[in-house]
Amino acid sequence: MQNFTYQNTTKIVFGKGKEEDVGEYTAKHGSKVLLHYGGGSIKKYGTYDKVIESLEAAGVEYVELGGVEPNPKLSLVQEGIELAKEESVDFILAVGGGSVIDSAKAIAVGYFYDGDVWDFYYGDAEITEALPVGVVLTIPAAGSESSTSSVVTKLDGMYKRSIDSKLIRPKFAIMNPEITFTLPNYQTACGAVDIMAHIMERYFTNTDNVEYTDRLSEASLKTIINNTPKVLENNEDYAARAEIMWVGSNAHNGLLGTGREEDWSSHGMEHELSGIYDVAHGAGLAVVFPAWMNYVYQHDLERFAQFAHRVWDVDPDFKDLEWTARQGIKKTKEFFSQIGMPVTLKELDIPAKRLEEMAEKATENGPIGSFVELDTEDVLTIYNNALE
Give 181-233 pLDDT, tens digit per residue.
Answer: 999 999 999 999 999 999 999 999 999 999 999 999 999 999 999 999 999 99
Q: Which DSSP helix (H) or strand (E) runs through 125?
A: none
The 133-137 sheet, strands edge to edge? 11-14, 172-175, 133-137, 91-96, 32-37, 61-65
Q: What is the dihedral of CA 219, 283, 235, 328, to 10 degrees?
A: -30
Distance CA 327, CA 291 (A): 14
- Cα 162 to Cα 196: distance, rounded to the nearest angstrom: 19
What is the dotted CATH code of the domain comprising 11-178? 3.40.50.1970
pLDDT tens-digit profile of 138-154?
999 999 999 999 999 99
pLDDT at 330: 98
Residue of 90, 86, 89, 104 lying closest to 37 (CA atoms)? 104
Give yes or no on whether 11-178 and 183-385 have one common fold: no
Burial status of residue 227 (CB atoms within 10 A of its CB: 0-12, 13-18, 19 or more): buried
Write the single-letter amino acid at 264: W
Q: Which long-range contacts (CB under 8 A, 24 or more apart) does 300-306 make?
A: 300/204, 300/206, 300/371, 301/325, 303/204, 303/205, 304/204, 304/328, 304/329, 306/214
pLDDT digits (tens, 9 = 90+) for 153-184: 999 989 999 999 999 999 999 999 999 999 99
User: In the beta sheet, which residues pair with residue 159?
Assistant: 154
- pLDDT of res. 40: 83
Homologous superfamily of domain range 183-385: Dehydroquinate synthase-like - alpha domain (1.20.1090.10)
The residue type of 373 is E
Average confidence (pLDDT) over 64-71 = 95
pLDDT in the model for residue 22:
98
Taking every pair of Cα atoms in the chain, the longest distance, rounded to a whole number of angstroms, is 67
- Total Cβ atoms within 10 A of residue 313: 11
Report pTM. 0.96
Q: Work out the pLDDT band at 19, boundaries 50, 70, 90.
A: very high
Q: Give pLDDT, residue 39.
A: 85
* Domain locations in the chain as residue ranges: 11-178, 183-385
User: Tell me, what's the pLDDT at 129?
Assistant: 97
The pLDDT assigned to 318 comes to 85
pLDDT in tens, 295-340: 999 999 999 999 999 999 999 988 899 999 999 999 999 999 999 9
